[in-house]
Amino acid sequence: MSVRQATLERLASFPNVTMTQGIPLSRCTRFGIGGPAEVYFETSDESSFAALLAAVRESGTNYVVIGGGTNLIVADEGFEGIVLRFTASAIDRSGQIVRARAGAELQALVDFSIEQGLKGLETMTGIPGSVGGAIYGNAGAYGHSIDERVRLVRFFDGGRVRRFTNAECEFRYRESIFKKHKDWIVFEAELAMDIAPVEELRASAEKIFAIRLEKYPLTMKCAGSIFKNLLLAELSEGVRAQVPERVIREGKVPSAYFLEQIGAKGMRIGDIRVADYHANLIYNEGGGSARQLCELIADLKERVRVHFGLELEEEVQYVGFTPGGARRPSPILL
Ligand SMILES: Cc1cc2nc3c(=O)[nH]c(=O)nc-3n(C[C@H](O)[C@H](O)[C@H](O)COP(=O)(O)OP(=O)(O)OC[C@H]3O[C@@H](n4cnc5c(N)ncnc54)[C@H](O)[C@@H]3O)c2cc1C
């Protein structure tokens, strides 16, 4: 549903809010893909964000909340409705507890912790995006994810601000309760850290960063891994029997293994291509579209389904598509 003029005027009257109409969402996504947002609001003011979100919901207008746009596929047609972004980015420390606002870059949080001699996030160095996005998707790498450190999450449920303990966040591999309640917006996370020498933490982060840079050059237009890895325990007997022991890591089978077997590496549609060196990495060489990206994803899923009887699940999130995402890349609802 298009944004009504009366709604627009009401929303624009909230303090400390920036409003833009028709901004190309390709500018807000790492893929560099996505049509215009009918209206885009940004604020670092928590009360204004809460008032905005409550008013948007009351108006019945379609909306979506984005963070750094590093894990998004946005439709070529854009988003008919309101795109919201919470940009507060303060990070502070009290003893071994670090508090980060959701709009902070995850890397800023990692760097802050390292420089403070606080251990626990250094393996997450190089994961782009915001703290809010990281909590939403329980981001992680090298055998660790952010949930291991989260003590409390403060969020807005559309009516009031609430606090959830780690257990209440229902974290699992690349999952959290916020994925099930897309209208609950993370404002802040509190993380419990250990003490360690700064030099040790720096060395560990630098090593990881160097490896990551080879895989994900800074200018690469992508979303990291397109598909989630698979938990071995959740695979059927038939699929498990086809997986060699050597590819299993920390109880997971990389999606890349299945994708490699169906010849994904190097596949392309226009400027959208699968990396030659990593079957679960799709990137935009420059002129790719969401339609091409969705077609390639659908093709890969179909091949894995036919070959292994297995359904790959996207880690990446869709904006501006009807439910069903890649299978039906027509606009516009979230
Ligand atoms: C090069 C590259 C490498 C990557 N490597 C990794 C990796 O190693 N490990 C990993 O886990 N991920 C990785 N990713 C994926 C991505 O960085 C993470 O998913 C990141 O946490 C997304 O954060 P974001 O702020 O960009 O969120 P966005 O992409 O903007 O949004 C993702 C989802 O989060 C939701 N969201 C954003 N902010 C909030 C909020 N405040 N409250 C509630 N929901 C919110 C959005 O609604 C959306 O559904 C990589 C991506 C790239 C481009």
Q: How far is it, in rounded angstroms, from Cα 209 to Cα 126?
A: 6
How far apart are the C-alpha atoms of 227 and 233, rounded to whole Å? 18
* Index of the ligand 1 atom closest to the CA of residue 315: 19
Atom of ligand 1 nearest to the CA of 130: 25
Angle at which helices 46-59 and 5-12 cross, to 10°: 170
The pTM of this model reads 0.95
H and E: helices and strands count for the chain: 9, 21
The reported pLDDT for the residue numbered 1 is 61
Catalytic annotation present for 260: no
Residue 157: both structure tokens together: 């449920």
Identify whether the C-beta of residue 329 lies closer than 8 Å to the C-beta of residue 75. yes
Q: What spacing in Å lies between the alpha carbon of 69 and ligand 1's midpoint? A: 7
Q: Which residues pair with 225 in a beta bridge?
A: 281
Q: What is the DSSP letter of 333?
A: -
CA of 134 to the centre of ligand 1 (A): 5
Q: Which residues, at least 6 apart from 304, have a Cβ–Cβ distance to it below 8 Å? A: 258, 259, 262, 310, 311, 312
| Residue 128 and residue 68 in contact, taking contact as beta carbons nearer than 8 Å | yes
Catalytic residue among 225, 273, 289, 303: 225
Residue 93 identity: R
Distance between Cα 139 and ligand 1 center (Å): 7
CA distance 206 to 191: 22
Q: Looking at 149, 174, 273, 303, which residue is catalytic?
A: 174
Three-class SS of residue 295? helix
Atom 11 (ligand 1) nearest CA: 139
Distance 317 CA to ligand 1 centre (A): 9
Using CB distances shorter than 6 Å, the residues near ligand 1 are 30, 65-72, 86, 102, 127-130, 132-134, 136-137, 139-141, 178, 185-186, 216, 222-224, 317
177: CA distance to ligand 1 center in Å?
15
Q: Would you state the pLDDT for residue 58?
A: 93
101 is catalytic: no
Whether 130 is a known active-site residue: answer no
Weakly modelled stretches of the chain, pLDDT under 70: 1, 323-334
Among 53, 50, 48, which residue's Cα sits nearest to residue 7?
A: 53
Pick the atom of ligand 1 nearest to 187's CA: 41
174 touches 228 (CB < 8 A): yes
Rounded to 5 degrees, φ, ψ at 317 are -110, 145
Q: State which of 66, 213, 250, 281 you would mutate to test the pocket of ligand 1, scoring each by most atoms of that ligand within 8 A of its C-beta.
A: 66
Structure tokens at 112: 């802050």
Find the Cα–Cα–Cα–Cα dihedral 128, 130, 136, 138, rounded to 10°.
40
Q: Compute the distance between CA of residue 330 and CA of residue 35 in angstroms, rounded to an integer.
A: 12
Does an H or E element contain 49, and which? helix 46-59
Tell me which residue has its CA closest to atom 49 in ligand 1: 317
